[in-house]
Amino acid sequence: MGRLLDIVTPLHRMTKRDYIARMVDDKVTCMLKAKEYEVDYWDGDRRFGYGGYRYLPGRWTPVAQALIDTYGLTNESSVLDVGCGKAFLLYELKQLLPGLKIAGFDTSKHGLAEAKPEVRDYLFSYKAQDRYPYGDKSFDLVISLATFHNLRLFELETALQEVERVGKQAYVMLESYRNEQELFNLQCWALTAESFLDTAEWIWLYNHFGYNGDYEFIYME
């Protein structure tokens, strides 16, 4: 197994969440809409997802810088983002390292269309649970943020093994919980999650599927 990192957690903690309000707001209907991963999920009402996922200058810069520092990325490096969404992180990486070779994919047509023009040509529509269209060790780093908990258990094997296969280094961040309160909060808040596992279960799963990359968990505290 790789390292347990703390890269996205500071950014995650900046957002306030009303867990009970989401749970009692016709949540099943909201889940079905969110799982379309289109306009309502990204830029519709907050009850369906992000409630307006817009580019904010500097918001993702600390995460991008932490990835550069942690993995020794340079202008000669290459990065693949699995489940890139609007690819704001890839954009920030390119701002810091203009020569960085990037690629990203997502299933959301709206998300990809709303990416910054500077990175849009490097993005494409694809599923995280399918075999990736790249050769072994094609990228210096493969990342996936807040995506894999949206896969079912039988889909995670391929996803994790593909991250391991195409990347020389790997980093996966997803939602988890450490106690009953965090599990309750997660169940209230999550609209698209399919796999609700505590940290020990995720680590067991990583080992079971042969994932040896780095990882991080975010919690609904």
Across 37-46, average pLDDT? 97
Which pLDDT belongs to residue 1? 81
Looking at the DSSP assignment, which residues form a beta bridge with residue 102?
79
Q: What whole-number distance in Å separates Cα of residue 153 and Cα of residue 151?
A: 7
pLDDT tens for residues 186-214?
999 999 999 999 999 999 999 999 999 99
Q: Where are the domains of the chain?
A: 9-219
Q: Examine the pLDDT at 92 and tell me if it is beyond 90.
A: yes
Across 120-140, average pLDDT? 98
pLDDT tens for residues 165-177?
999 999 999 999 9
CATH 3.30.70.3270 fits 9-219, yes or no: no
Across 76-97, average pLDDT? 98
Q: Examine the pLDDT at 44 and tell me if it is beyond 90.
A: yes
Looking at the DSSP assignment, which residues form a beta bridge with residue 212?
none
pLDDT tens for residues 51-74?
999 999 999 999 999 999 999 999
Q: What percent of the chain has pLDDT over 70?
A: 100
Mean pLDDT of the chain, nearest integer: 97
